[in-house]
Amino acid sequence: MFSLTVCDHIMIAHSFQGAEFGPAQKLHGATFVVEAEFRAAKLDHLQLLVDIGLAKVELRRVLDALDYSNLDDNPTFKGINTTTEHVAFHIHGLLAAACRNGSLGQGGRAVTGLKILLRESPNAWAAYEGPIA
Amino acid sequence: MFSLTVCDHIMIAHSFQGAEFGPAQKLHGATFVVEAEFRAAKLDHLQLLVDIGLAKVELRRVLDALDYSNLDDNPTFKGINTTTEHVAFHIHGLLAAACRNGSLGQGGRAVTGLKILLRESPNAWAAYEGPIA
Amino acid sequence: MFSLTVCDHIMIAHSFQGAEFGPAQKLHGATFVVEAEFRAAKLDHLQLLVDIGLAKVELRRVLDALDYSNLDDNPTFKGINTTTEHVAFHIHGLLAAACRNGSLGQGGRAVTGLKILLRESPNAWAAYEGPIA
Amino acid sequence: MFSLTVCDHIMIAHSFQGAEFGPAQKLHGATFVVEAEFRAAKLDHLQLLVDIGLAKVELRRVLDALDYSNLDDNPTFKGINTTTEHVAFHIHGLLAAACRNGSLGQGGRAVTGLKILLRESPNAWAAYEGPIA
Amino acid sequence: MFSLTVCDHIMIAHSFQGAEFGPAQKLHGATFVVEAEFRAAKLDHLQLLVDIGLAKVELRRVLDALDYSNLDDNPTFKGINTTTEHVAFHIHGLLAAACRNGSLGQGGRAVTGLKILLRESPNAWAAYEGPIA
Amino acid sequence: MFSLTVCDHIMIAHSFQGAEFGPAQKLHGATFVVEAEFRAAKLDHLQLLVDIGLAKVELRRVLDALDYSNLDDNPTFKGINTTTEHVAFHIHGLLAAACRNGSLGQGGRAVTGLKILLRESPNAWAAYEGPIA
């Protein structure tokens, strides 16, 4: 199995609902370093998994909708805690769709798995991985 | 599949038995940076895999028994080389038990897999991963 | 010249005033990884620059006033943009005072210089350094 | 499942064939940081997965054939783009053979999986993983 | 003293002249991670040292002339070994000029010192720092 | 001012004398990642500060006397706490001597400053820097 990973980051504000979150119930923020790992069993005739340029552009496009914003104000997340786990899941859905719809070229259509990992601090990170149906 | 990882470290002394270890047969030491990755197929209603606060506390509790000590003097490791691989396995057992016994809350009971990775230097690390029965 | 550095982090929300900030005028956030570097020409009789335990406690105490908060709501920063540069300067003032007032022990009183560096992302960081009068 | 990873790096020149590569069609270069992850279900009686000394020596031996060279001039890669993905695959083949032929000792013969990850920049990396038949 | 650092990278080929370079006399390459640290004694009224957006654009502009190229073919470096030290010095000159000529705005004109650090591998890096006359 | 830094690491055991050290009074250990930064105002005719190969060899030679050992048993440190600060100072003295005595070649003789930084964990490091008389 091959994988190719590209990396970018966003800077967001948010708060959490639920006593379990303690001080994180207050409005605060995070730099999320986002790693997008594309997986496929084979490379194409150019020895590429996906076009790394397209991968970076699509990741940035997905992140632009979140970057420099307060996630509490984003209708997409209404009533949903934007935990690191959930934001990883959210980005996974959008990048998986980009693979399927051809935005990542033929290589993207051949991607069989995708893992999105978000680092919230040097001591904590979360990820969602799943197949691309 | 979701994952959440928390990170901490310990500073220990130890030595190894066996000519294969070369100079590491002498008493020496290591800073082990410890990454504990919890895995589950679903998040809870708060969008949490496990309570990150509880995860950090339990990891620290497990590490406190090893931190600032000479592993050669620890009865737990009598006759067993405390290689990075084995210490990862040892920590895995204790954190898996914490998941099962409820110390990590309901989220911990729902954890299905756990990976413990120990970095011993910038150039070498080892891990043990396994299901939580 | 000796130096000792301890590291911690905070997760904050904020926004900026001024067209120069572009999208960062909107409420967003950051994980600031904070490095506090203490400098002195000599070590004490125990070969310590400052007690590393006290240094971590004092850094945490200073950061607790900022962690998990919206800096826009903090009276300390009223009318002042909380750029990475300025937050470094702010933390410098508080840790320098802790050195002078004895909170960092005799070692802290002997500190002659202090540098506070804040990493806002893998690609950008800022610092303030100055003597401790 | 246990894993042990050792890390080294190479500094190579190369160019790519295919309009998809854009400016990377020109002769350029890369520092590839190479991580070799060995996997096995059990440790030996010394609590070792593989002898870490042998692992480092074999990885270095494999890398010496590439280090400080122009991959475009290497007959092994004639007509094949030396993408990060492909170089990972190439190194995988050679290290897997080293496991099978005993160069990594008994531990190496017991290795069941191998992952080679190459970091080409802070923002991009690629890997190949597969079983050792 | 304040500082602000922005980070980017280039991927270049080159070779060295001189027996002292050993195997690095052959054509090879490197990923240079480039850190540009701007220094000034004061921040402006917005609490900025330099506009971080302009700083990233100017650093990229300077790096574009080197990225994805063979430095051996660059007339600028004719007869000069493009060691990590020298490339740092070269970039310093161009970014210092950008500060002086206003490309970095008023903040850039107020910069008094500049340090350019290039990481060539996890184990080696070089820098040039100097005042901006 | 130019600088060139090379990096290596050691794995040592030690304990500290003095109630101030708390649990670190017990025998424990550390991986010290060691960064040696050489400084000079000029490069030589090859555009080198020091021969990086010689720098790595000399740093390794100095570290070999400490690596895989219990510093408590080393007569050099009799009655002296081997804090990170002090070990940095100790290594500084030996590498500075190597510069002066020609072990680092003509480039080494031209070095005017040397900084030794030791990382003991992701959250703490210490350094000693000084001129080479």
Name which of F18, F123, F128 is nearest C6 (Cβ-Cβ): F123
Q: Which residues contact C4 (CB under 8 A, 6 or more apart)?
A: C37, C38, C49, C50, C52, C55, F84, F85, F124, F125, F126
Cβ atoms within 10 Å of E102's Cβ, excluding its own: 10
Dihedral, CA atoms, B99, B103, B108, B111, nearest 10 degrees? 0
Token pair in block for residue D50: 């593989």
CA distance A48 to A35: 18
Token pair in block for residue A128: 């969602």
Q: What is the DSSP letter of A95?
A: H
Minimal CA separation from F14 to chain B, in Å: 8
Residue of B nearest to D50 (CA): B85
User: What pLDDT, in 10s, does the model give residues B61-79?
Assistant: 999 999 999 999 999 999 9
CA distance C116 to C35: 6
CA distance D3 to A65: 38
Cβ atoms within 10 Å of F65's Cβ, excluding its own: 13
Q: H or E segment at D125?
A: strand D124-131
Dihedral, CA atoms, E66, E67, E73, E74, nearest 10 degrees? -10
Reduced to 3 states, what is the DSSP secondary structure of residue A91?
helix
8 Å CB contact of A11 and C121: yes
Pair A97, A61: CB distance under 8 Å? no
Reduced to 3 states, what is the DSSP secondary structure of residue A39?
strand
Q: With an 8 Å Cβ cutoff, is B89 touching chain D?
A: yes
Positions of chain F with pLDDT lower than 50, given as ranges:
none
Token pair in block for residue E119: 């990481």
Residue of C nearest to E49 (CA): C85
User: What pLDDT, in 10s, does the model give residues D99-112?
Assistant: 999 999 999 999 99
CA distance D71 to D118: 15
Token pair in block for residue F26: 């017990």
Q: Give the phi and the psi of residue B128 in degrees, each rounded to 5.
A: -130, 130
Best of B9, B39, B46 to mutate (most A CBs within 10 Å, chain A): B46
Q: Using CB atoms, which chains have 3+ pairs under 8 A with A?
A: B, C, D
8 Å CB contact of D126 and A6: no
Instruction: List CB contacts (< 8 A) between C126 and chain E.
Output: 2-5, 49
- The average pLDDT across C51-59 equals 96
Q: Between B and D, how many CB-CB pairs are < 8 A?
A: 56
Q: What pLDDT score was predicted for residue A62?
A: 98
Residue among C35, C33, C56, C55 nearest C119 (CA) = C33
Q: With an 8 Å Cβ cutoff, is C32 touching chain E?
A: no
Reported ipTM: the value is 0.96
8 Å CB contact of B31 and F26: no
CA distance F37 to E84: 14
pLDDT class for D67, splitting at 50, 70, 90?
very high
Instruction: List CB contacts (< 8 A) between A56 and chain D.
Output: 123
CA distance D69 to D10: 9
Cβ atoms within 10 Å of C77's Cβ, excluding its own: 17
Residue among B12, B16, B29, B21 nearest F12 (CA) = B29
CA distance C115 to E125: 22
Q: Using CB atoms, which chains have 3+ pairs under 8 A with D?
A: A, B, E
Token pair in block for residue B48: 């949490």
CA distance F24 to F19: 9
8 Å CB contact of C1 and F130: yes
Q: Between C and E, how many CB-CB pairs are < 8 A?
A: 55
User: What pLDDT, in 10s, does the model give residues A23-79?
Assistant: 999 999 999 999 999 999 999 999 999 999 999 999 999 999 999 999 999 999 999
Name which of B13, B26, B31 is nearest F120 (Cβ-Cβ): B31
Pair D34, D114: CB distance under 8 Å? no
Instruction: List CB contacts (< 8 A) between C46 and chain F.
Output: 16-18, 20-21, 81, 83
Residue among E31, E59, E6, E10 nearest E120 (CA) = E31
Q: Using CB atoms, which chains have 3+ pairs under 8 A with C?
A: A, E, F
Minimal CA separation from F126 to chain C, in Å: 4
Q: Give the phi and the psi of residue F41 in degrees, each rounded to 5.
A: -80, -20
Instruction: List CB contacts (< 8 A) between A18 and chain B.
Output: 46
Task: Provide the percentage of residues in chain D whose pLDDT is more than 90.
Answer: 99
Instruction: List CB contacts (< 8 A) between E122 and chain D.
Output: 7, 9, 33
Task: Provide the percentage of residues in chain B whose pLDDT is more than 90.
Answer: 98
Positions of chain E with pLDDT lower than 70, given as ranges:
none
Distance of CA D43 to the CA centre of its chain: 23
CA distance E3 to E36: 10
Residue among A87, A3, A13, A116 nearest A50 (CA) = A3
CA distance B49 to B42: 7
Q: What pLDDT score was predicted for residue C39?
A: 98
Q: With an 8 Å Cβ cutoff, is A54 touching chain D?
A: no
8 Å CB contact of D70 and E123: no
Reduced to 3 states, what is the DSSP secondary structure of residue D60?
helix
**Through-space distance between the first and last CA atoms of chain E, rounded to whole angstroms:** 17
Q: What pLDDT score was predicted for residue C54?
A: 95
Instruction: List CB contacts (< 8 A) between B122 and chain F.
Output: 7, 9, 33
CA distance F2 to F38: 8
Note if the pTM is more than 0.95: yes
Instruction: List CB contacts (< 8 A) between F4 and chain E.
Output: 84-85, 124-126
